[in-house]
A and B are shown apart, each in its own frame.
Chain A
């Protein structure tokens, strides 16, 4: 499936407190309310302006820090179609897949500018930058993870298959 949307560009080491701060995580459990504070410490306008289908683009080590699953959850809840980064911190990466948010490793994120229109085709493993006419080949997911992502996450997988993938 090809997804098309706008890039929201962030830097290296975007940590879980930037994505969703503990001060909100420990006082708000409603996802509608919690999501209003997503990425707040980096870009105050993000939660209000991000559109369904947009992409979050980071640099190295995206999602470092805490194991809070609320981090990928708030992004998914706001309609973010995928997070694209040079590298991911491992817990965020697993969490994203497990809740059905594509986490795409791409070596070429430096070429993507804030506001660029992107098309992400995960089945072909390519990110197309419509704004500047470039295409970037991305790393495929390990097959074990692709299975989970294809079903929309681990909970959906279990609901559909009646058992865990392992």
Chain B
């Protein structure tokens, strides 16, 4: 049976992993290569690397880090951050990424999703969305959650699926970094709207939050950052507890 995935996310800046609360006040956490190997050994099912600077000069440093991770860690690697063109796809794929996640780049140029899916296959294209509940409903934010758009999140998820994205990452701005649990109402709406795998992101603070997530919403994976970096609990612990509560996980 297909296992629910636990995915640590590593935000990378100048070759180091950082993670903020509500997208600000970054703290240096650890060395990406070391952290990736540690996560893989402790049972991570995949790793996500976000290049949070994504400037030209930083990109080459980021690719060096990625290459070094890919040389040592043999689980799927997803890369995101500053992916705006097919050339950006090409660059990170050549450094060992298996999947590429697009966010603001797809908002600016929606054809990017379809063009990338045609060239690299649907399995390669992950549509990542930063979503916030506004008066008019769930809206997509761009540029790392800083700029509000008038795009409806549910419609955007459906568009992503139709255009050829193989997976969705749904990051709730409302719950991100707060460690009060995943945004279940939002995730429920998205999961009901599409038939591709959905990865929940934003709000993981405890083992209970992951249990609640997998028991209540048909998502495929839970993503966490600070909760794993600061060793609130290990992925091994989390998976054992999930398994004993009846959630199918790979141990």
**Is the pairing of A and B real?**
no
Q: Which residues of B contact A (CB under 8 A)?
A: none
Q: Which residues of A contact B (CB under 8 A)?
A: none
